[in-house]
A and B are shown apart, each in its own frame.
Chain A
Amino acid sequence: MNLESSDEKKLLSELKNGNTAAFDVLVDRYAGKLYMTAFGLLSNRQDAEEVVQDAFIRAYKSIGSFRGDASFETWIHRIVINLSRNKYHWNRRRGADVNVSLSGLQSNINDEREPEDINIADESYSPETVINSTELERNVQKGIQELPDTLREALLLRHVEELPYEKIAEALECKIGTVKSRIARGREMLRKILT
């Protein structure tokens, strides 16, 4: 059987029947795209390669429990995004205190006051603030690293991998409307960071 031309479902079926060569085909098929995603999120070649290797190994180890609710491509994307997110934050807070409060949480749970609201900035934009080519000469890569995780991930999956909103929603486990909003807000924020 020619595994290279088999679809994902067939490959997973072969794999569950013990034909581990089927996983090699999945590696050939997705490793490059996943590396680009990880590199986009981490901006570091070595970290990106580590994340992609780790993701495939984790997927391989637990392929027996993969139910196939989402496609393998979506599943491995989720693993890469999550590992990248963890590595990104680990890199940023290396050496810092990562403890979280439980004692404070108890007082928060018992607090009957209304939840604290945060002021919403005016999201409207004006033509005067539209980005121009000069602004873009500045470092876009650095600007993207300053975005919140959710916006950065959606933006990179769109611009670097050119995934449609539907696939991005599956990979990030959110609704298509949320993807639309995150991409627009990411672009808006990037513009503000660059000006």
Chain B
Amino acid sequence: MNKSNHTCPSFEDISAYYDREINMDSPLAEHIRKCPECTRVLDSLKLLDAKIKQDFACTVPEGLTDRIKAQLAQTPIHKTISFPWYRLLRVAAMITICGALAVYMMNEQFDVTSSRIASGSDATAPHAKPAPSTHHYPYYTSNTAYAPGGGVPLHQLTRASYGESPLPVFTNTEQAGDNQQAVRIGAQVHQVWVAKDLQEVNRALGDILLGLNIPPSKVSITDSGKSIRFIADLSKIQLVSLVKNCSARGFDLITPSEPQPEQQLFYGKKDSPVIYYAEFVKDK
């Protein structure tokens, strides 16, 4: 801790002691209580605490709760729908069959897309399969409201491109300097987004996935009409980019789980796998 006494605990430990978040009967706590240097640090923390409390002291505005309640009175509540178990089983069986068919069809379609992108041409790609007789093939989504056969038609998607901005950085150091703390992304990430228009979510996800070259086999999208559930098998850098791009498309992330759109510095390897679960709900 300091030059005069090498046995002093770290500032982090003294800080935790000040918050009574360490065992107050431990030798560490006893040292902090008795050591003049540690006591000085504790006094400074006390001053800081008082000043923060003073600066951030505020009174709750009069009528705040009444105004919230008045708004709530005009807000519909979303209720979960419960099925009898046998109906649920039937629905699950149907979804499984439809899902398997959809994955098969999307894989076929993605092969065509990749060839077109690689060649820069629609018709002359050497590996391109014959164009389907209809252009209304589903892409990533199963909502039949958007195209015959379901989903945003592939030809309506535009590969996402967002100009210049700093790239996210992945580092093997969790604490990187005064202003930098690397964000740790877990193996699974759950997030909830709010969007004004779910059709726009389908379109944006299609654009972004196309831009990132993420094949449909890595993605599952379920559109209930009221919300869109998105599950994807991604690398961490793909997840970071997807989150940033969803935010740039105007969707509102309401869960604080990381990564957040504004974060730039991440801990670990950019290619590490992550399973991403997202729910896009409609803002009414």
Which A residues form the contact surface with B (CB < 8 A)? 16, 20, 23-24, 27-28, 31-32, 35-36, 39-40, 45, 49, 52-53, 56-58, 60-65, 78-79, 81-83, 85-86, 89, 97-106, 108-109, 115-121, 123-127, 130-133, 136, 139-141, 144, 148-151, 155-156, 158-160, 164-165, 171-174, 178, 180-185, 187-192
B161 touching A102, Cβ below 8 Å: yes
B51 touching A136, Cβ below 8 Å: yes
**Of B10, B21, B194, B241, which contacts A102 at CB under 8 A?**
B241
Can you report 8 residue pairs joining A to B where beta carbons are below 8 Å apart?
A36-B58, A61-B281, A101-B165, A102-B160, A117-B176, A123-B11, A130-B44, A140-B48
Q: Among B60, B80, B248, B257, which residue has the most Cβ atoms of chain A within 10 A?
A: B60
Confirm or deny: B178 has a beta carbon within 8 angstroms of a beta carbon on chain A: yes
Contacts of A191 on B, CB cut-off 8 Å? Answer: 44, 48
- The complex places the Cα of A54 from the Cα of B160 at a distance, in Å, of 30
- The complex places the Cα of A183 from the Cα of B192 at a distance, in Å, of 27
Which stretch of B24-32, B66-74, B137-145 is in the interface? B66-74
**Of A36, A160, A182, which contacts B60 at CB under 8 A?**
A36
A52 to chain B, nearest CB (A): 7
A173 touching B175, Cβ below 8 Å: no
**Of B53, B72, B247, which contacts A159 at CB under 8 A?**
B53
Please provide the chain B residues from 135 to 169 with a CB less than 8 Å away from any CB of chain A in the complex.
160-169
Which stretch of B106-114, B121-129, B215-223, B262-270 is in the interface? B262-270
- The complex places the Cα of A32 from the Cα of B213 at a distance, in Å, of 46
B65 touching A31, Cβ below 8 Å: yes
A104 touching B167, Cβ below 8 Å: yes
- Chain A, residue nearest B14 (CB): A184
* Inter-chain pairs besides A56-B72, A60-B75, A173-B257, 16 sampled, C-beta below 8 Å: A31-B65, A40-B56, A45-B61, A58-B194, A65-B80, A81-B256, A86-B252, A99-B162, A108-B167, A115-B171, A118-B171, A127-B37, A150-B183, A159-B49, A160-B53, A184-B16
- The complex places the Cα of A171 from the Cα of B76 at a distance, in Å, of 26
Which B residues form the contact surface with A (CB < 8 A)? 1-4, 10-12, 15-16, 19, 21, 37, 40-41, 44-45, 47-49, 51-53, 55-56, 58, 60-61, 64-65, 67-69, 71-72, 75-80, 160-173, 175-181, 183-184, 192, 194, 208, 211-213, 235, 237-238, 241, 244-245, 247-248, 252-258, 260, 262, 265, 269-271, 279, 281, 284
Please give me the 7 A-B residue pairs with the lowest Cβ-Cβ distance, nearest first.
A118-B176, A184-B12, A184-B15, A100-B244, A159-B52, A99-B162, A141-B55
A165 touching B64, Cβ below 8 Å: no
**Of B15, B208, B237, B244, which contacts A108 at CB under 8 A?**
B237
A184 touching B245, Cβ below 8 Å: no
- The complex places the Cα of A53 from the Cα of B68 at a distance, in Å, of 6
A141 touching B211, Cβ below 8 Å: no
B52 touching A144, Cβ below 8 Å: yes
**Of A64, A117, A159, A164, which contacts B80 at CB under 8 A?**
A64
A106 to chain B, nearest CB (A): 8
B118 to chain A, nearest CB (A): 13
A38 to chain B, nearest CB (A): 10
- Chain A, residue nearest B5 (CB): A127
Contacts of B1 on A, CB cut-off 8 Å? Answer: 124-125
- Known contacts A31-B60, A31-B68, A165-B21; A188 and B177 CB within 8 A of each other: no
**Of A24, A97, A115, A148, which contacts B69 at CB under 8 A?**
A24
Contacts of A99 on B, CB cut-off 8 Å? Answer: 162-165, 248
Q: Among A49, A62, A85, A187, which residue has the most Cβ atoms of chain B within 10 A?
A: A187
- The complex places the Cα of A132 from the Cα of B262 at a distance, in Å, of 34
- The complex places the Cα of A164 from the Cα of B16 at a distance, in Å, of 11
A68 to chain B, nearest CB (A): 12
Contacts of B284 on A, CB cut-off 8 Å? Answer: 61
- The complex places the Cα of A78 from the Cα of B258 at a distance, in Å, of 12
- Known contacts A120-B175, A165-B21; A86 and B12 CB within 8 A of each other: no
A152 to chain B, nearest CB (A): 11
- Known contacts A104-B164, A130-B41; A151 and B79 CB within 8 A of each other: no
Q: Among A62, A100, A106, A127, which residue has the most Cβ atoms of chain B within 10 A?
A: A100
